[in-house]
Structure 1
Amino acid sequence: MSQIIVGKIRTSHGVKGDLKVFSSSGDYDHYSNFETVVLKKGNRSKSFEVEAVKGSGASTLLKLKGIDSPEEGKLYAGYDILVDEGLKAPCYEGEYYQSDLIGCDLVYQGETLATVLDMVYGGPNDLLEVKKSDNDVVVLVPFRNEFVGDVDIINKKIELRVDWILD
């Protein structure tokens, strides 16, 4: 089964190696279903058994077997949390997983203008990091209704409402 990014390690918490997490979906309830996770950053990855899930919401903590001190926990700050795709939280209307958006074509009036490489989170808007089709320039496009229309995950196409956003 393929794996999906469900969150990111923020930092360690306490003296026993608990890890503060950020959930990609905003939902933390499904973390209690995880028996194992893979922590990945770049080309480094490591599988861990989940010992406990503590707290709730943005205060959710993961305790992973083999991470037993704050120093060990801090080594994994910034790592993505991956689980089998079947364990991901369901998306609500208008919500998408980053992994579903990566590889989608940005289409304006039937013409493919760019391809989504990644998502950048932060500030007031999430941003699509896209590579233009005509010259391989990378551009950030706000993932907002003014700029992005229909999202078709199955056909890997995202409607672009305005083309000037790529200039």
Structure 2
Amino acid sequence: MKKKGIRAILERRKRKAFDHKDEVMIGKIVGVHGIKGEVKIKPESDIFEKQMEALDLIPVYRGTKREELCVEKLKPYKNLYIVKFKEINDRGEAEERVGGELWIDKNKQVELGEGEFYFSDLIGSKVFTDDGKEVGILKEILEQPAGHIFEVEKSDGSKILIPFISQFVKDVDIENKRIVVSLIEGME
């Protein structure tokens, strides 16, 4: 067998096996639970349970593999979900799926209610202070144990972190990709 150079390995890792431009990630398999093939899934959506119940088959991607799995049982567990897929019947099969990501087509997303939105819709929004001064562009939403944090890139390339709570985030306008925040001294 031919040995691969470190450069070739790193280049291969940079390439994505799948193009997810028309999909949204709703969760990630982070562990196993018990011996009957149940997995622990970290949700990437506040409406994860609704999404899972609305679909017959869930696409799961891991590395260069893609498979569609059918949900047999779903239950909340702390800040995760325990899910039993019909196709996974023992702990060994479940362990093979750890690291797998659950992606769905954007057109299969559950309809949202008034004032609800997907985090993916916020990325790229312009962020302004409540007095109209531009702060920057929302680049990422970080998930922390205490809540979500907006990572906003300022025009000079520096970053500012803003907790996604009503004390700081005053208005979210998805249609115009505009977010209004109230900053306290020291945040900028």
TM-score when scaled to structure 1? 0.76
The answer for the alignment partner of 1:20 in structure 2 is 40
Q: Check 1:143–1:19 CA distance in 2 against 1; reply closer, same or farther (3 A cut).
A: same
- 1:9-158 mapped onto 2 (5 Å cutoff): 9-15=29-35, 17-23=37-43, 24-32=45-53, 33-39=55-61, 44=63, 46-58=65-77, 59-63=81-85, 65=87, 70-71=91-92, 73-74=94-95, 76-77=97-98, 79-108=100-129, 109-133=131-155, 135-158=156-179
Tell me how far apart the structure 2 counterparts of residues 78 and 143 of structure 1 sit (CA, whole Å): 27
Asked if 1 retains the 8 angstrom alpha-carbon contact of 2:27 and 2:48, the reply is no
Asked if 2 retains the 8 angstrom alpha-carbon contact of 1:98 and 1:118, the reply is no
Structure 1 runs of 4+ off > 6 angstroms? none
SS in 2 for 1:162: coil
Tell me how far apart the structure 2 counterparts of residues 78 and 111 of structure 1 sit (CA, whole Å): 41
Q: Check 1:68–1:127 CA distance in 2 against 1; reply closer, same or farther (3 A cut).
A: same
Tell me how far apart the structure 1 counterparts of residues 174 and 127 of structure 2 sit (CA, whole Å): 12
Asked if 2 retains the 8 angstrom alpha-carbon contact of 1:37 and 1:82, the reply is yes
Tell me how far apart the structure 2 counterparts of residues 57 and 87 of structure 1 sit (CA, whole Å): 22
5+ residue gaps, structure 2, are 1-20
Asked if 1 retains the 8 angstrom alpha-carbon contact of 2:138 and 2:153, the reply is yes
Asked if 1 retains the 8 angstrom alpha-carbon contact of 2:38 and 2:91, the reply is yes
CA offsets per residue over residues 60-99 of structure 1, 9 Å max, x none? 405275x665455445545542101233234444443221
Tell me how far apart the structure 2 counterparts of residues 112 and 75 of structure 1 sit (CA, whole Å): 46
Aligned residues with identical type, % of pairs: 27
The answer for the alignment partner of 2:18 in structure 1 is none
Asked if 2 retains the 8 angstrom alpha-carbon contact of 1:6 and 1:88, the reply is no
Instruction: Give the number of aligned pairs.
Output: 162
5+ residue gaps, structure 1, are none
